Amino acid sequence: MNSNEKEKQVIIQEINKWRESKLLPSEYCDFLLNLYSSGSNAPKKETKKDTKSNGKSSLPRILTIIGFVIVVAIGIYFFLNFTSFHPIMQMTILGIITLACYVVTSIYYKHSNPYIPLISHSIASVLLSVFVLRFLFLYGLDQDISSVHISFLFVFVVWLIMSIALRHPIIFSFGLIGLTVLYNQVVTQQVPSESIIEPQLYWVPVALITCWLGYALYQHKKQHQYSYILLFSSFLYFFMPEINLGWLSRSFSSIQESLALKIIILFILFFIGKSVLRSQVKQTEV
């Protein structure tokens, strides 16, 4: 045995040690062994282990695909036979699916693809409203205005809370729109249709509270989108009595004075707020 062959044997032994101690990946060791021994000393047992490990790594994927197919099949079955189930069974299915969608959203809300949690959150929100509607029809409460208002108040509040927790401003906007429509219905039932003074007592305080909440959320960097939505909503609430009266009376002349007064008030508040913000900025700089 010449010196070159001895050197090759030493190198091959070292490579085998690297393989056993896992200093290098098995693919690199195979390549080096083939390079120095022309394939004669390439370990066959290790390749079998690699194939076994590859088979094991593909097993979770296969199980995931099978599970997905089973879930889809069950979903299709329930969808096609949903109306034939007992009403309580229908509500149970809706509740489970809604809860599952919220769980999926909470798990994947930091996913690299933002559409996955948004879609599941949207489905959960819609199913929650369907669940409440089914509950009202099941127990004959759909004709009771108070029950309908309370039920959908619950739905929209859940939308708001979950949208803030899961960081979906779009769902937050829809929840706020729902609350606005609901509150507007309550106000129109309590206030005469041609009155312009009494609605101010309902809407102006709400506008101020919403504006304060928007300003408070603006102090947090991660809540700017919600603050913009609330500030815009407060502006809308401030003029909601005029919007309602103008829509009902179909006449702009009946709300001209109130609109002019509110616009003047807004300009005054704008300049006051601007000066206050400037003074705060100067104090922070000092």
The pLDDT assigned to 156 comes to 93
Q: For the chain, give the percent of residues with pLDDT over 70.
A: 71
Residue 227 included in any domain: yes
Residue 231 included in any domain: yes
The pLDDT assigned to 46 comes to 47
Q: How many domains does the chain have?
A: 2
Q: What is the mean pLDDT of residues 246-261?
A: 68
Residue 128 included in any domain: no
* Structural domain range at position 1: 1-42
pTM higher than the cut 0.75: no
**Lowest-pLDDT range, 25-34, 178-187, 199-208, 248-257?**
248-257
Residue 225 included in any domain: yes
Are 270 and 244 in contact by the 8 Å Cβ rule? The answer is no
Q: Is the pLDDT of residue 147 over 80?
A: yes
Tokens 């099941």 belong to 138
Q: Is the pLDDT of residue 180 over 80?
A: yes
Residue 130 included in any domain: no
CA–CA separation, 151 vs 142, rounded Å?
10
CA–CA separation, 175 vs 125, rounded Å?
9
Residue 23 included in any domain: yes
Residue 61 included in any domain: no
Residue 173 included in any domain: no
DSSP assignment of the chain, as one string?
A: --HHHHHHHHHHHHHHHHHHHTSS-HHHHHHHHHHHHTTTT--HHHHHHHHHHHHHHHHHHHHHHHHHHHHHHHHHHHHHTGGGS-HHHHHHHHHHHHHHHHHHHHHHTT-SSTHHHHHHHHHHHHHHHHHHHHHHHHTT-TT-HHHHHHHHHHHHHHHHHHHHHHT-HHHHHHHHHHHHHHHHHHHHHHS-TT-SSHHHHHHHHHHHHHHHHHHHHHTSGGGHHHHHHHHHHHHHHHTHHHHHHHHHH--SGGGHHHHHHHHHHHHHHHHHHHHHHHHHHHHHH-
What pLDDT, in 10s, does the model give residues 87-126?
Answer: 788 788 888 888 888 888 888 777 667 787 888 888 888 8
Query: Angle at CA 186, nearest 5°, toward 180 and 187?
Result: 85
Q: Is the pLDDT of residue 251 over 60?
A: no
CA–CA separation, 92 vs 249, rounded Å?
46
